[in-house]
Amino acid sequence: MKIIKNNWILIVFLISLIAIISALTAEYFFEIFPCKMCLYQRYPYYFIIIISLIFFFVKKIYYIWHLLLNECAICYGIFYAIWHVGIEQKIIPGLFECTTSLDSTNSLIELKKQILNKAIISCDEISWIIFGLSAATINALVFLFLLTFNTIFLIQYLYNKKNNN
């Protein structure tokens, strides 16, 4: 546990980098295109990569800020990942842009507008599966792992800070 704690910034950075490289590889090399929810789930990884790089190069930033910013990004990511899994399983409704269904209308103009505003890739269809799990499910598990350890380290940091004062 101490090894993970001492290298947490590097671990979070590498996990985020691997997640983004995997997503971009799937998209550009295997032509598995992302839906809107998939794209939203990438944002926390980009953010974590950027703040980790800043932390590596600007040594004046306190460790607590890295943990707090990670916590916010991870919570955002887990929210969208779980929502996406719910959409895939048809448990939770998705965004308007995520579905392939159209609302009934009597107007051709309204129908055309609906068609043009629809995403090509639907959020409720599973694009790819790894080890029997959808990419959104794997992403939710990765975020859950990150949230668990980041929260532990954040609580430990605050506890140690409180006891040292």
Q: Which is higher by pLDDT, 121 or 136?
A: 136
Task: State the chain's mean pLDDT as an integer.
Answer: 83
Distances (CA, A) of 28 to 22, 49, 122: 10, 20, 18
Tell me what pLDDT residue 94 has: 67
Domains of the chain: 2-164 (1.20.1550)
Confidence band for 116, pLDDT divided at 50, 70 and 90: low
Contact criterion met (CB below 8 Å) for 137 and 85: yes
* pLDDT(85) > 60: yes
Residue 124 three-state SS: coil
* pLDDT(71) > 70: yes
Q: Which percentage of the chain shows pLDDT scores above 70?
A: 81
DSSP type of residue 129: E
* pLDDT(20) > 70: yes
Highest mean pLDDT among 3-12, 27-36, 46-55 belongs to 46-55
* pLDDT(64) > 80: yes
DSSP type of residue 29: T
Tell me what pLDDT residue 108 has: 65
